[in-house]
Amino acid sequence: MRYWKKRSVANRTWVPFCLLLILALVSPASPGGLATVAHASPESNPIPKQNPDKPSVQTERRLAIIIDDFGNAMGGTEDMINLPVKLTVAVMPFMRTTAEDAKRAHERGHDVIVHLPMEPKQGRAEWLGPGAILSKMSDEEVRRKVEEAIDNVPYAAGINNHMGSKITEDKRVMGIILEVCMERGLFFVDSKTNYWSITSELRASKGLPDLNNDIFLDDVHSIRHITGQLRKVQELLDQKGKCVAIGHVGVKGKITAAALQQSIPELKAKGVKFVGISELAREYYIPGTHSRPGFTLP
């Protein structure tokens, strides 16, 4: 799209035609639905201008922190759930503390989402956990697995991917996962483990919110690194006004929780508002413009 846009600007004779074509593509009658319409105006102007997502002065700073890998009494579970800010707790289905973690997170006021195991390009099969979505599965199998996973995690408002680099570029399988999301009134957050992920275009075509991880907090497990990542989060918030960051419970989960605990006062002092991911999802839902009645956020 970007490449095509540049060409249209370089060759001015194409501009009127391109404008008409773009307008046709983003009209409310298009199957693009809400997400496409919501982003239509900045994209529909082929003349380059300042990125509308990057206003020079950004006063609003909303941070959605997703913590992955709950459901198996992993390290840091207690510390995370008790943090004094709103988080999004991503719980793996069919594990020994799945229901318990989801329930306790919900009671503490956190958002809960399904952390759906999905086949990666690399990595061991045993890291996936039970109920994983695999590319070799039939359409019916994928649908059944996704439905069962959702049913297994109480209070789930959405789904994000555990691993999944192979599935997020698989149009067939990803399409079925998103169809089930729509039917259940859930959103899908892409952890962006794959540069070639096609989830953004697929979600746009279905009118689902375009929610993506901006930054991993604990790819290196040290307080110093995580604190550094949280500084980068502040830069992203200055630029965009909102940010989605992902951390983990696990063997080193206590370290991530401690680093967050330490940084929370500074983030709050700088005006950062901690929100659940469903608040960012809800923005895409504008009453009266959405053509998919199945999408009902909490």
Q: What is the contact surface with Zn ion in residues (CB under 5 A)? A: 68-69, 162
Main-chain phi, psi angles of 212, to 5 degrees: -140, 150
Based on CB atoms, which residue is closest to Zn ion, 8 or 161? 161
| 200 and 238 Cβ atoms separated by less than 8 Å | no
Tell me the longest C-alpha to C-alpha distance in the chain.
Answer: 63
Using Cβ positions, the residue closest to Zn ion within the complex turns out to be: 162
Shortest separation between residue 115's beta carbon and Zn ion, angstroms: 6
Based on CB atoms, which residue is closest to Zn ion, 68 or 179? 68
Based on CB atoms, which residue is closest to Zn ion, 69 or 218? 69
Q: Which two tokens stand for residue 39?
A: 């982003």
| 278 and 157 Cβ atoms separated by less than 8 Å | yes
Q: Look up residue 246 and give its DSSP letter.
A: E
Shortest separation between residue 293's beta carbon and Zn ion, angstroms: 32
**Per-residue DSSP letters for 141-184?**
HHHHHHHHHHHHSTTEEEEEEEE-TTGGG-HHHHHHHHHHHHHH
| Euclidean distance between the first and the last CA atom of the chain, given in angstroms as a whole number | 33
Based on CB atoms, which residue is closest to Zn ion, 4 or 127? 127
Shortest separation between residue 140's beta carbon and Zn ion, angstroms: 26
Based on CB atoms, which residue is closest to Zn ion, 69 or 179? 69
Q: The dihedral of CA 239, 242, 246, 249: what is its sign?
A: positive
Q: Please give the Cα distance from 89 to 71 (Å, whole number).
A: 10
**Per-residue DSSP letters for 82-100?**
TSSS--EEEE-TTSTTHHH
Shortest separation between residue 165's beta carbon and Zn ion, angstroms: 12
Based on CB atoms, which residue is closest to Zn ion, 104 or 162? 162
Based on CB atoms, which residue is closest to Zn ion, 159 or 267? 159
3-state helix vs strand vs coil in the chain, percent to 5: 45, 15, 40
| 69 and 218 Cβ atoms separated by less than 8 Å | no
Residue 70: helix, strand or coil by DSSP? strand
Q: Cβ–Cβ contacts within 10 Å for residue 63, how many?
A: 22
Based on CB atoms, which residue is closest to Zn ion, 68 or 101? 68
